[in-house]
Structure formats: structure tokens, C-alpha cells
């Protein structure tokens, strides 16, 4: 069986870095990224949302949504997923007076529905990681109250987590599989020393979006093929389990300010790996 894969890129990866931040909403360049993505042969852009530019993000205004739809149609680039770094920056399941954050969450879901975004990713890593059972229970309780809303808006919540395969499987089983799932990050898993075979065996049925990245074991993000990610095992599992959803390039930034060139190198690397593993 051949692989049927759909590739996209994380918003901001096709623009110069802002404030030395690897990932941030590119408020000056977000429009031009549609054309750049098309020129690279990609089909998707994964939207990003930060709290420091929250009010300026076009996804949250009527005029912005209309412009996103126009550019999406013009360049044949779909926006089907959103990474909510804002949730990691201000985790509504950790903050006591969190009603405003929960209202913001609902506002985000409503905007996503208008654009056609299906997957909203909540990063349970770094500042958003679940450090104790109290935070986990609070998150489960809050999100359980959104089940009807998610169903109405046709949106699914995906978790990106640093939990080991068995613990992540146990965690995700607390949720309705039709409304919740996992965003798998190849590079993060490699940096934690997890085995791709173990991960896919434990929770593949919940994986609905994938970030393509490479990281050194216990280290930083690097160009694809330069880190600890096992691409042979990765593609073997995609083929074995018949994965047919999106793969989003969330790769290392260029150290020469050549972001387009960097993405091109990574795309060529992945094409080569696919040929080796089909």
C-alpha cells in the first residue's frame, strides 16, 4: 500500500523570525505566506495564536476571517488546524480566575468554525504540561462541558503532550474519541527518547494531526535528518496504520535567515524518505 499524505506548514515558518521566537503569529507577513506555501507545493497552513498578539490576529475578526477565506480560495491553501500557543502561555486549567480565558477559548472555537478549521491543538508541554492529577482533572472537567459545543461547531480538540506512550493512552481515554485526539510531534518524541513503534501501538487511533520536526535527544530542534527522529520507523508506522491526515512542517528555523530555503531542504528530505519507505 502506498502512503497517501497531505503536507502543510506551520504559520510563521515562511517568514523571518520575530523577536528571536521560533514560533509566533507573523502579523506582518501572514498574507504572503499563502502564496509562498502554494509555490512550495503545500496544501495547508496550520494557524498560530499567541496571547501577546491575540487581539491583532485576523482569525478573531469578521474582516480578518473574510480575508483568510479569500486568500485560501485564491491560493488553494486550506486552514484545517490551529496550534493554540496561547493555551500554553496562559493555561486555563491551571489559573484559578480563568473565566476570561475560557471565554477566549470559546471565541476561538467559534472563529475556527467560521473558517473551517477542524482541529484545535492544546499543547500540554512546557508551561502547559500537566504536572499533577489536580490539573489533569480540572482540564478534563472544563473540556467535558464543551462536548456539545464542539459537536455543534464540528471541531475536535487535539492534545500535544510529553507523556510517555502508556500514560498518554491512559489520559486520552478520558475523552470522547470523536471529539478529542492527539497531535503527534515526531521531534518532541525523539527528544524524549520515545520509541515510535511504542507510541503508534498505544495510541495511533487517536492521532489526527502530525508535526514534522527533528530534535536531538534531550536537545534542541534541528534540520530534518540531523537529530534523533527515526524516520524509517515513522513512515513504516504511517504505512502500517494507514495514516491519511495532515503532516505539518514545524521544522527548525534557518540560522541564515533563509526560511524558504530551509523549508525546501526539509521537503526534499521527506520526499526522499517517502521513496525509501513506500
Q: Contact 98/92 with Cβ under 8 angstroms?
A: yes
Taking the CA of residue 45 as centre, how many other CA atoms within 13 Å lie in the half-sphere pointing to its CB? 30
Those residues of the chain that have pLDDT short of 50 are 1
Q: By the 8 A CB rule, do 124 and 159 touch? A: yes
11 lies in a domain? yes
pTM score, whole prediction: 0.96
Exposure of 216 in the CB half-sphere (CA atoms within 13 A): 5
Q: Print the SS3 string covering 74-105.
A: HHCCECCEEECHHHHHCCCCCCCCCHHHHHHH
Q: Which three cell numbers stand for residue 35?
A: 502564496
Residue 1 lies in a domain: no
In a domain, 208, yes or no: yes
Cα–Cα distance between 185 and 189 in angstroms, integer? 6
The grid coordinates listed for 254 are 534557518
Residue 258 domain-assigned (yes or no):
yes
Whether 141 contacts 174, CB under 8 Å: no
Q: Residue 22: what pLDDT? A: 83
Q: Does 70 map to a domain?
A: yes
Within 8 A by CB and 6+ apart from 38, the residues are 75, 76, 77
Q: Phi, psi at residue 179, to the nearest 5°?
A: -120, -15
Say how far apart CA 72 and CA 98 lie, in whole Å: 34
Q: How many domains does the chain have?
A: 1
**CA–CA separation, 153 vs 116, rounded Å?**
9
CATH number of the CATH domain containing 171: 3.20.20.150
Please tell me the distance from the alpha carbon of residue 108 to that of residue 238, in angstroms, as a whole number: 31
The neighbour count for residue 128, using CB atoms within 10 Å, is: 26
Full domain range(s) for residue 97: 6-277
Q: What is the pLDDT of residue 1?
A: 42
Whether 273 is covered by a domain: the verdict is yes
What CA–CA distance (Å, rounded) separates 155 from 78? 15
Alpha helix positions (H), the chain: 32-39, 62-75, 85-89, 99-115, 133-144, 147-153, 165-172, 186-192, 196-203, 231-240, 259-277
End-to-end CA distance of the chain: 8
Amino acid at each position: 500500500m502506498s502512503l497517501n499524505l497531505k503536507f502543510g506548514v506551520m504559520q510563521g515558518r515562511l517568514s523571518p523570525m520575530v523577536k528571536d521566537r521560533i514560533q509566533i503569529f507573523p502579523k506582518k507577513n501572514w498574507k504572503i505566506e499563502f502564496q509562498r506555501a502554494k509555490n512550495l507545493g503545500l496544501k495547508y497552513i496550520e494557524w498560530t495564536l499567541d496571547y501577546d498578539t491575540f487581539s491583532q490576529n485576523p482569525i478573531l475578526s469578521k474582516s480578518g476571517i473574510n480575508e483568510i477565506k479569500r486568500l485560501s480560495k485564491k491560493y488553494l491553501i486550506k486552514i484545517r488546524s490551529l496550534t493554540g500557543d496561547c493555551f500554553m502561555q496562559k493555561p486555563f486549567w491551571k489559573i484559578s480566575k480563568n473565566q476570561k480565558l475560557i471565554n477566549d477559548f470559546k471565541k476561538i472555537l467559534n472563529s475556527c468554525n467560521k473558517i473551517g478549521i477542524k482541529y484545535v491543538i492544546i499543547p500540554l508541554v512546557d508551561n502547559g504540561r500537566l504536572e499533577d492529577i489536580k490539573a489533569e482533572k480540572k482540564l478534563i472537567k472544563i473540556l467535558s462541558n464543551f462536548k456539545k459545543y464542539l459537536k455543534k461547531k464540528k471541531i475536535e480538540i487535539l492534545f500535544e503532550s510529553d507523556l510517555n506512550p502508556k500514560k498518554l493512552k491512559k489520559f486520552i481515554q478520558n475523552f470522547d474519541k470523536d471529539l478529542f485526539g492527539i497531535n503527534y510531534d515526531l521531534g518532541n518524541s525523539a527528544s524524549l527518547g520515545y520509541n515510535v513503534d511504542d507510541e503508534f501501538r498505544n495510541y495511533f487511533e487517536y492521532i489526527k494531526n502530525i508535526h514534522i520536526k527533528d530534535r536531538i535527544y534531550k536537545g534542541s530542534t534541528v534540520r530534518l535528518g540531523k537529530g534523533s527522529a527515526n524516520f524509517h520507523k515513522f513512515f513504516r508506522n504511517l504505512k502500517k496504520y494507514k495514516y491519511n491526515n495532515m503532516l505539518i512542517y514545524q521544522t527548525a528555523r534557518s540560522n541564515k535567515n533563509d526560511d524558504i530555503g530551509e523549508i525546501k531542504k526539509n521537503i526534499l528530505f521527506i520526499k526522499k524518505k517517502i521513496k525509501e519507505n513506500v
